[in-house]
A and B are shown apart, each in its own frame.
Chain A
Amino acid sequence: MNNLLRLTAVGVAGVLAVTIAGCTGGAPGGDSDDPNTIRFMIGQPEDPADLELTEQDMLKFEEETGIKVELDVIPSENVRTVLQTQLRSGEGPDVFGYDTGPGFAGALSDAGLLYPLTDAYAEFDWPVYEFAQERVTFNGDIVGIPNDIETLGLFYNMTLFDALGLDRPESTSDLLNACEVIKETGVIPFAISDQEGWQGGHLLSIVLSSEIGSQATKALIDGEASWDSPEVVNALQTLKNFNDNGCFTPSPAAVTYDNANALFYSGEAAINPTGSWLLQDTERNVDFEVGYIPFPASDGPGIFSGGLGAGLFISATTKKAEAALAFLDYTMTQEHGAWVIENAQSIPAFPIDTTGIEATPLFTQVLADAAKIADGSGDFGFNIDVLMSDTFNEAMWNGVQAILTGQATPEEVAASLQENY
C-alpha cells in the first residue's frame, strides 16, 4: 500500500512540476505547410453576408494566383487574445485583419510580431493614402495595409427635415433649433444609443473634432495638450446639454445600438450619429431620403471625423511571406477597390477612379468626401478610440455614459480622461 501511495505522489508531483514550469509560457507550436496555402484570420463580420463576400473574394484570388487562402473566423471580441496567443507561440496565421490603432497593431509591432512592409510598399508601389500609411507605421516601419476608411458623422432624415422646413444644419444652434422643431412633432431628434458604451467615443470624437478642428484634436491625441481643458469640457457639456434638452433618446444608456438604428430606420428618430459603415444597412432599411453631414461646430458646418477601419497585417514568423505579400497586393488593385465599393460599400484607403462604379448617390457623396480627406484637400477630425489605449478608452466610454446618466460632470470626466491618458 505504501508503495502505491508513494508512486502516486511521485506521479502527481511530476505533473505538478511540468505544469508550474510552463505556467506563463507559450504553447507548443509551429506547422509547416504547402507554400501556396496561407492562413488568414479575421474577426467575425457583423453581417453573415459580408463573410460570404470575403469567401468569394478568396476564391477569386485563388483563381488568379493559385494560392489557396484558409479562412479562420474568430468572434471579434476574442481576436486580440487569440492572436496574441497564437502569434507568440509561432502558430499564428500568416495574414490577419486587425485594428490599426496603437493599442492593437501598435502593441503587436512593439512586441515584434509584425512583418515589416516598408520594402514591400516600395516594391509593389502600393498607392495607399499618406495619412493612412502613417496610421500603420510604428517604430519607423510600415507594418500593415489599411483596409478601408471610415468616417463618423450624422445620418439624418432629409425627407422629414424638408417636410418641417428645416435646412441642413450648419451650426450647433441650427442643430438645437432643429431639435426643438422635431421634438414638437413627437419624433425623437437624435437616435442615441449608449448601452454598449463604445458609442460614447464616437460622440465625443465628432463633437470635439468639429468644434476645435483637426489640429487641436491631434494635439490632444498626441498628448501635447491636456484632456483636462476647457475645450474638452465644452464638448462634453454640449453632449450633456443636448441630452438635458430632450434631444436624445430617453435614457440613452439603456438603448442599444440596434435599437437606436431601428428608431432611425422607422422614422421615430430623425438623426443617427454613427459612421459610414452603416451606410449600406441604412439605405437598405429606410424609405425616406437620407443625408450625411458632419456634426456641426458652433461657428460652422464642422468636419467629418475619419479614421481607418481595420487593416491587413502579416505575421513576423510567417513562412509564406511571398504568398502573403501577393495576397496583400491583390487587395490593392483598382478592380479590387471597385469591387469593394460596389459590394461591401466600404471606402478603400487608396485612390479609386469612381467613374463607372455603381453606387448610390449617398455613397458617392461619402466616397467623394472621403477622397477629399484622403488626398489632403479636405480637413477631417479623428475617431478617438482607435488611437488610444484600452484604459483611456474605458475611461472615455464610462465617462460619456456617466454624463448621459448624470453620474458625473463634464469636468470630472475630462479630468479622468487626462488621468488615464
Chain B
Amino acid sequence: MTHSTLRAQKALVNPKTLTQSIRHVLLIFMAIFTLIPVMLVISTTLKTPEDVRVNPFGLFTSFSSQNLIDAWTVGRFSDYLLNSVLLTVPSTLLVVAISTMAGYTFARLPFRGRTVLFYFVVLGLLVPFFTFMIPLYFQLRSLGLLDTLPGAILVLTSTGISFGTFFMRAFFSDLPMELEQSARVDGASEWQSFTKVMLPLVGSGIGALTVFTFLANWNNFLVPLLYLPSGDFRPLTAGLYMFTGGRSLDIGPLAAGTLITILPVIVLFIVLQRQVTQGFISGAIKG
C-alpha cells in the first residue's frame, strides 16, 4: 500500500511520466495515421456534390447529405445493404451451428476414422481458396446453384467451417472430462450431455466465432464477385467495386457507398470488440 502511494507521489515529478507522455504522443500520432483514411471517407461523403468535384480530398470543407441519398437511392446501396445481410446472416448461423456440432464431435465423441475426417477438415485451412475457386464455379453451374442466393450462402458457409470447427474444437477440448462423466452418471443421454451441459459452457467461444465469421463474410469480396455474376444479389463489397468500374465521375456517392459498407462493421466491432480480441487470442494460444 505504501509502495503505491509513494509511486503516486513520484509520478508527479518522475521522468517516467515524461516517458509516458512521449508514449502517448507516439500512440496518438499513429492513431491519427490509422484513422485518416476513414476520416477521408466520412469527409468526402458529407461534402456537397459540387465541392466533391472541385476539392475532392480536402478534409471536411462542407456538409451535405446529398451523397448519402444518391448512394442509397440511385446507387442502390440500400439494396446492396440488404443483400449483404441476406448473405451474411444465414451463412454465419450455418457456420456456427455446423462448426459447433463438428467441434464437439472431434473433441469429445470418438469413433473409427474420426482422425482422418479431422485432417480433411483441417486441410481446408491450409489450402487457399484460389486453388478450387475456379472448379467450384463450374461445379455450381452444373448444380444449378450459380448466380443463386442459396448457392452463394453455401459457398460462404463452406469457407468458414474449417476454421470454425478448429476453433470450437479447441474450446470443447478445454472442458474437463469429469463434466461428461457426471452427466452420464446422472442418466443423461449423449445428446442431452451435449446440449444441456457442454454447449452452455462454450458460450464465449460461440460468441467470438459468430463475430469473426460475420466479419469475414460481410467483408468477403471474391465469393459474391465470382458466384453471383449477374449481379442479382450483389452485396456491398461487390456493389462498391462495380460502382468504381463504371465510367462515372461520382466520387461523392462512391464515398457514401464506402461509408455504408464500412459503418456496420465498425459499429459491430466497437460494440463487440472485447469478444473479437478475446476470441483471437484463444484461437492463437490453443492452436
Binding site for B on A (CB under 8 A): 1, 5, 19, 22-28, 44, 46-48, 72-78, 81-82, 85, 257-258, 261-262, 281, 285
Please give, as numbers and ranges, the residues of chain B lying within 8 Å of A23 by CB-CB distance. Answer: 135, 138-139, 142
With A23-B142, A25-B142 given, is the CB distance from A5 to B113 under 8 Å? yes
Instruction: Name the one of B111, B231, B248 contacting A75, with C-beta atoms under 8 angstroms.
Output: B231
B141 touching A26, Cβ below 8 Å: yes
Which B residues between 115 and 173 are near A, CB-CB below 8 angstroms? 135, 138-139, 141-144, 146-147
| CB of B203 within 8 Å of the partner chain | no
With A23-B138, A23-B142, A24-B138 given, is the CB distance from A258 to B247 under 8 Å? yes
Q: Which residue of B lies closest to A88 (CB)?
A: B141
Complex: A35 Cα to B135 Cα, angstroms: 37
A19 touching B142, Cβ below 8 Å: yes
Instruction: Name the one of A72, A85, A258 contacting B249, with C-beta atoms under 8 angstroms.
Output: A258
Please give, as numbers and ranges, the residues of chain B lying within 8 Å of A77 by CB-CB distance. Answer: 245
Binary A-proximity of B242-258 (CB < 8 A = 1, otherwise 0) = 10011111010000000
Complex: A198 Cα to B234 Cα, angstroms: 25
With A23-B135, A27-B146 given, is the CB distance from A82 to B229 under 8 Å? yes
With A22-B142, A26-B141 given, is the CB distance from A78 to B229 under 8 Å? yes
B146 touching A85, Cβ below 8 Å: yes
Q: Which residue of B lies closest to A1 (CB)?
A: B111
Please give, as numbers and ranges, the residues of chain A lying within 8 Å of B142 by CB-CB distance. Answer: 19, 22-27
* 25 A-B interface contacts by CB (under 8 A): A5-B113, A19-B143, A22-B139, A22-B142, A22-B143, A23-B135, A24-B142, A25-B142, A26-B141, A27-B142, A44-B231, A46-B248, A47-B248, A72-B230, A73-B231, A74-B230, A74-B231, A75-B231, A76-B245, A76-B246, A82-B229, A82-B230, A85-B141, A258-B251, A262-B249
Taking the closest CB of chain B, its distance from the CB of A94, in whole angstroms, is 16
B53 touching A262, Cβ below 8 Å: yes
Q: Which residue of B lies closest to A261 (CB)?
A: B249
Q: Which residue of A lies closest to B135 (CB)?
A: A23
Please give, as numbers and ranges, the residues of chain B lying within 8 Å of A47 by CB-CB distance. Answer: 248
Q: How many residues of B contact A (CB 8 A)?
A: 25
| CB of B271 within 8 Å of the partner chain | no
Which B residues between 216 and 243 are near A, CB-CB below 8 angstroms? 229-231, 234, 242
Please give, as numbers and ranges, the residues of chain A lying within 8 Å of B141 by CB-CB distance. Answer: 26-27, 85
Please give, as numbers and ranges, the residues of chain A lying within 8 Å of B230 by CB-CB distance. Answer: 72, 74-75, 78, 82
A74 touching B229, Cβ below 8 Å: yes
| CB of B1 within 8 Å of the partner chain | no
Complex: A281 Cα to B246 Cα, angstroms: 14
| CB of B74 within 8 Å of the partner chain | yes
Complex: A48 Cα to B53 Cα, angstroms: 19
Please give, as numbers and ranges, the residues of chain A lying within 8 Å of B113 by CB-CB distance. Answer: 5
A28 touching B144, Cβ below 8 Å: yes
Taking the closest CB of chain B, its distance from the CB of A29, in whole angstroms, is 8
B139 touching A82, Cβ below 8 Å: no
Please give, as numbers and ranges, the residues of chain B lying within 8 Å of A81 by CB-CB distance. Answer: 229
Please give, as numbers and ranges, the residues of chain A lying within 8 Å of B249 by CB-CB distance. Answer: 258, 261-262, 281, 285
Which B residues between 88 and 127 are near A, CB-CB below 8 angstroms? 111-113
With A24-B142, A262-B53 given, is the CB distance from A78 to B231 under 8 Å? yes
Please give, as numbers and ranges, the residues of chain B lying within 8 Å of A28 by CB-CB distance. Answer: 144
Q: Which residue of B lies closest to A18 (CB)?
A: B143
A75 touching B245, Cβ below 8 Å: yes
Complex: A19 Cα to B53 Cα, angstroms: 52
Complex: A23 Cα to B135 Cα, angstroms: 8
Please give, as numbers and ranges, the residues of chain A lying within 8 Å of B251 by CB-CB distance. Answer: 258
Taking the closest CB of chain A, its distance from the CB of B6, in whole angstroms, is 60
Taking the closest CB of chain B, its distance from the CB of A58, in whole angstroms, is 19
Taking the closest CB of chain B, its distance from the CB of A25, in whole angstroms, is 5
Taking the closest CB of chain B, its distance from the CB of A373, in whole angstroms, is 24
Not counting A23-B135, A74-B230, a sample of 15 additional A-B residue pairs whose C-beta atoms are within 8 angstroms of each other reads: A5-B112, A22-B139, A24-B142, A25-B142, A27-B146, A47-B248, A75-B229, A75-B230, A75-B245, A78-B230, A78-B231, A81-B229, A82-B229, A258-B248, A262-B249
